[in-house]
């Protein structure tokens, strides 16, 4: 299902003056309501806040709190088995001692200095997680910071436990999905992303590995509720001086899910690169393979721009319907001004019925 590596950096060179703003255009039917992306109005941003304004800070040792374990216990949690480990984070099972509920706890190593880039990323991630409360987005339960000579600065994030694992592993085990199955799962993902966009937030790292599963027989798919997760690369979108959406220039995300404008180092709309990544996600759900061959990155980019991809029907449960073909072509349009936006995705006739069901479920929980 492709490499999981993320990349992050700045595009080389300066944007040309007078470059037209990218505006979202929908090929869908009229309507959409809350399915539009709204840049956030001026207000506090993560970069303007001190870490202690984002999360409670414990400097240890201090008083009865001698160790990080003491801090965890004082917050009514107990860390249990390790769930996974990455470059700068370890995820544990965590039990709430008051409710006896199991959560997931991500312990992030932020370095020794408050000026580190990881601290800035932490502030951004927590700021966004506090805002995006929704049925189809992983729920933030609790968080705090610790600082010690031994371990430097660490962030503890307690989140909803995804007892079904991640969506990539689920698809690998289950095999290529049918169109009906895809509609039900994909509707939950786009409902979560739509909520983020409605708050002026772009995810910028959508992929199957960043969708988690919680067992729920009452979900629209009848087995799991899907949760969008991992907001480390997410960004708040703002208006530019002309009133349009401020463009991003940071090269970030997972390469096989990146839109061509990112790979070509052009300024881009965070909202519209999310749509491209959703298109790649849907293609993988249907085929268990990628539409573009990244063994040769330059050729992959040429194929994207030329719309040179096809449906591997021998790998699918059935040939794609015309509605599905039209739907995915709209998401994988290399021209962001012609690409479907969230309103177009949500209201397209291939998906709108299941999307509305997902929204009803979310509104009930809201």
34 is catalytic: no
The domains located in the chain, with CATH, are: 31-43+163-365 (1.10.510.10), 46-160 (3.30.200.20)
State the Cα–Cα distance between residues 85 and 310, nearest whole angstrom: 36
Query: What pLDDT is recorded for position 246?
Result: 82
Give SS3 for 9: strand
Q: Which of 121, 166, 205, 333 is catalytic?
A: 205
- Token code pair at residue 9: 């950096």
What is the side-by-side strand order in the sheet with 152-160?
56-59, 140-148, 152-160, 102-111, 89-96, 77-85
Q: In this structure, are residues 118 and 111 in contact, taking their beta carbons and an 8 Å threshold?
A: yes
Q: Which residues contact 160 (CB under 8 A, 6 or more apart)?
A: 103, 104, 138, 139, 141, 214, 227
Give SS3 for 56: strand
- Token code pair at residue 10: 């700045």
- Parts of the chain with a pLDDT under 50: 1-5, 10-34
State the Cα–Cα distance between residues 25 and 341, nearest whole angstrom: 6
Residue 207: burial class (beta carbons within 10 Å; 0-12, 13-18, 19+): buried
b/e burial code for range 213-237 (CB count within 10 A of at least 16 → b): bbebeebbbebbbbbbbbbbbbbbb
Which is nearest to 352 in space by CA: 191, 208, 242, 204? 191
What is residue 22's DSSP assignment?
P
In DSSP terms, which residues pair with 84 in a beta bridge?
A: 91
Q: In this structure, are residues 227 and 2 in contact, taking their beta carbons and an 8 Å threshold?
A: no
What is residue 352's DSSP assignment?
H
Query: What pLDDT is recorded for position 235?
Result: 93
Query: What pLDDT is recorded for position 25?
Result: 37
Q: In this structure, are residues 250 and 120 in contact, taking their beta carbons and an 8 Å threshold?
A: no
Which is nearest to 351 in space by CA: 181, 177, 136, 183? 183
Query: What pLDDT is recorded for position 114?
Result: 80
Query: What pLDDT is recorded for position 6?
Result: 54
Q: In this structure, are residues 354 and 183 in contact, taking their beta carbons and an 8 Å threshold?
A: yes
Which is nearest to 254 in space by CA: 225, 284, 226, 227? 284
Query: What pLDDT is recorded for position 12?
Result: 43
In DSSP terms, which residues pair with 78 in a beta bridge?
A: 95
Which is nearest to 283 in space by CA: 173, 209, 186, 169? 186
Rg from Cα positions in the chain: 21
């Amino acid at each position: 299902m492709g490499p999981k590596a993320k990349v992050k950096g700045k595009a080389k060179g300066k944007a040309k003056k007078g470059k037209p703003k990218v505006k979202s255009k929908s090929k869908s039917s009229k309507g959409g309501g809350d399915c539009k992306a709204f840049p956030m109005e001026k207000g506090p941003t993560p970069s303007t806040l001190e870490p202690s304004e984002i999360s409670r800070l414990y400097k240890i040792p201090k008083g009865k709190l001698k160790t990080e374990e003491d801090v965890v216990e004082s917050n009514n949690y107990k860390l249990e088995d390790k769930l996974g480990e990455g470059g700068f984070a370890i995820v544990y099972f965590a039990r709430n001692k008051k409710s006896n509920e199991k959560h997931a706890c991500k312990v992030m190593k932020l370095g020794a200095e408050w000026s580190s880039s990881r601290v800035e990323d932490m502030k951004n991630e927590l700021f966004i997680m506090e805002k995006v409360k929704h049925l189809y987005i992983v729920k933030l339960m609790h968080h705090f910071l610790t600082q010690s000579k031994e371990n430097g600065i660490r962030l503890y994030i307690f989140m909803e436990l995804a007892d079904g694992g991640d969506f990539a592993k689920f698809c690998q085990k289950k095999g290529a999905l049918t169109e009906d199955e895809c509609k039900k799962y994909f509707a939950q993902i786009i409902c979560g992303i739509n909520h983020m966009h409605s708050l002026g937030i772009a995810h910028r790292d959508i992929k199957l590995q960043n969708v988690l599963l919680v067992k729920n027989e009452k979900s629209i798919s009848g087995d799991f509720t899907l949760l969008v997760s991992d907001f480390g690369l997410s960004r708040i979108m703002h208006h530019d001086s002309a009133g349009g959406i401020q463009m991003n220039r940071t090269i970030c995300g997972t390469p096989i899910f990146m839109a061509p404008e990112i790979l070509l180092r052009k300024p881009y709309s965070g909202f519209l690169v999310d749509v491209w990544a959703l298109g790649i996600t849907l293609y993988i759900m249907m085929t268990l393979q990628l539409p573009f061959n990244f063994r040769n990155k330059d050729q992959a980019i040429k194929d994207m721009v030329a719309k040179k991809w096809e449906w591997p029907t021998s790998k699918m449960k059935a040939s794609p319907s015309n509605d599905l073909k039209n739907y995915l072509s709209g998401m994988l349009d290399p021209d962001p001004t012609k690409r479907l936006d969230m309103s177009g995705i949500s209201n397209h006739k291939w998906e709108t019925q299941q999307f509305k069901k997902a929204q009803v479920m979310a509104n009930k929980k809201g």
